[in-house]
Every structure is written in structure tokens, then in C-alpha cells.
């Protein structure tokens, strides 16, 4: 029969969350998760402690007690120890310099890929923005030419104001659409710049931490 763990649900979930972090080298997955899990640690030494009472056998005749200690440094889980009455304390998992270097290299590659991808996006959006700006200039020249054209003057003088105004509106709608595209592309370029800047800052910070 499988061992039965007598744990409060919340404590079990917290321990499982800490165990889950060992798969990502101890790094917290979000600021919210970090704040919550650290709030469950002892304020003095940043350690989460939990004792498991295990019962074995069909009638629960055998038992064992395991003491877990999860140590954190405010940024990640650094070590998990397991202590039993028969084997004493042993390191269950530890964030070693090798693991930290591996995680740092992985994060650096990610940031470099972000910079590359958003750099490509920025170039594409900037090209679209410049094309849209040229289109706006061309449409404005066409509109200015229309305003001073003999055909427009003839429509006005012949009492076809509605036709003239429809043509005016058609030109203005095209200009407005092109200007809207310029604004949209400008915003996309700015977002790419912000993302690239944040990735470069993160990359610089990780290089300084080495």
C-alpha cells in the first residue's frame, strides 16, 4: 500500500510548488509566486519547513517522519534538505554554480533571440511606416492638385456641389487611412524599441552578474 501523507492541503501545495521550481533551477516563475512563497518562509532565515508523517502498510502499522527544509535567497530556491530519523539530514536538491551558469546562459540566449526577433519586426514596421508616409505625401499632392483642378471648378460653377464634395471626401478618406497606418506603424516600432531596450538591459544585467 502506498504511503499516506498526513499534511494540511495548503502546506502540501506549498512544498509541491517549491519542488516544481527545481525544474527551472530554482527560479521563481513570477513576481506574484515569489511574493507568496517567500511569505510562507521564516522571516529570520528565509526557510520553509515542513514535517511529513508517513504511514505504511495495510493497517498503517509502520511510520516514518521526514523533515523538509526549503532555503531561499529572496530570488530563488537555493537548497532543499531532507532529514529522517534513520539517515539524518541530506541535500535533496541544491542550486549549484553549474546550474546557475546553465540558467544564465539559457536566459542570455532567450534575450538575444528576443532582440533578434523584435529587431526584424522593427525593421519591417519601419519600412511599412516609411511607405505609408510616402503614400500620405503623394495623396496630399493629389488632393492639392484636385482642389485647383479645372474639373473641380467646373463642378462647383455648374452647381454640382454634391459631386465635388464627394470627390473631396474620397481624397480625404484616403489620406486619413494612410495617416492612420503611419500612426499604427509608429506605435509598433515604439513597442519593439521598448522590448529590445528591456531585453538589452536584462542581458547587460546578467553579464554584470557573471
Domain boundary among 95, 121, 150: 95
186 and 153: one domain?
A: yes
27 and 127: one domain?
A: no
Contact 189, 182 (CB under 8 A): no
| Residue 14 structural domain | 4-95
The count of residues in the chain is 210
38 and 111: one domain?
A: no
70 and 112: one domain?
A: no
103 and 71: one domain?
A: no
Contact 64, 4 (CB under 8 A): no
Residue 36 phi, psi (nearest 5) = -70, -50
How deeply is 48 buried, as exposed, middle or buried, from its count of CB atoms within 10 A (0-12, 13-18, 19+)? buried
Q: pTM here?
A: 0.57
90 and 103: one domain?
A: no
pLDDT in tens, the chain (210 residues): 333 443 444 788 899 999 999 887 788 888 999 999 999 998 678 899 999 888 776 766 678 899 999 999 888 899 999 998 888 899 999 988 887 787 778 888 989 999 999 999 999 999 999 999 999 999 999 999 999 999 999 999 998 999 999 999 999 999 999 999 999 999 999 999 999 999 998 887 655 555
Domains: count for the chain: 2
176 and 105: one domain?
A: yes
111 and 193: one domain?
A: yes
82 and 52: one domain?
A: yes
Amino acid at each position: 500500500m502506498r504511503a499516506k501523507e498526513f499534511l494540511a492541503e495548503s502546506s502540501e501545495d506549498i512544498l509541491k510548488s517549491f519542488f516544481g521550481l527545481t525544474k527551472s533551477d530554482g527560479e521563481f516563475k513570477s513576481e506574484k509566486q515569489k511574493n507568496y512563497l517567500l511569505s510562507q518562509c521564516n522571516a529570520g532565515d528565509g526557510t520553509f519547513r515542513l514535517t511529513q508523517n508517513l504511514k505504511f502498510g495495510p493497517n498503517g502499522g509502520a511510520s516514518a517522519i521526514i523533515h523538509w527544509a526549503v532555503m531561499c535567497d529572496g530570488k530563488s530556491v537555493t537548497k532543499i534538505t531532507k532529514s529522517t530519523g534513520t539517515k539524518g539530514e541530506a541535500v535533496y536538491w541544491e542550486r549549484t554554480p553549474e546550474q546557475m551558469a546553465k540558467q544564465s546562459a539559457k536566459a542570455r540566449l532567450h534575450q538575444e533571440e528576443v532582440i533578434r526577433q523584435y529587431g526584424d519586426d522593427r525593421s519591417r514596421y519601419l519600412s511599412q511606416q516609411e511607405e505609408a508616409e510616402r503614400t500620405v505625401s503623394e495623396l496630399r499632392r493629389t488632393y492639392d492638385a484636385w482642389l485647383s483642378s479645372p474639373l473641380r471648378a467646373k463642378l462647383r460653377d455648374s452647381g454640382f456641389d454634391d459631386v465635388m464634395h464627394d470627390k473631396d471626401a474620397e481624397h480625404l478618406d484616403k489620406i486619413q487611412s494612410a495617416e492612420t497606418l503611419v500612426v499604427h506603424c509608429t506605435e509598433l516600432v515604439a513597442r519593439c524599441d521598448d522590448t529590445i531596450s528591456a531585453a538589452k538591459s536584462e542581458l547587460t544585467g546578467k553579464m554584470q552578474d557573471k
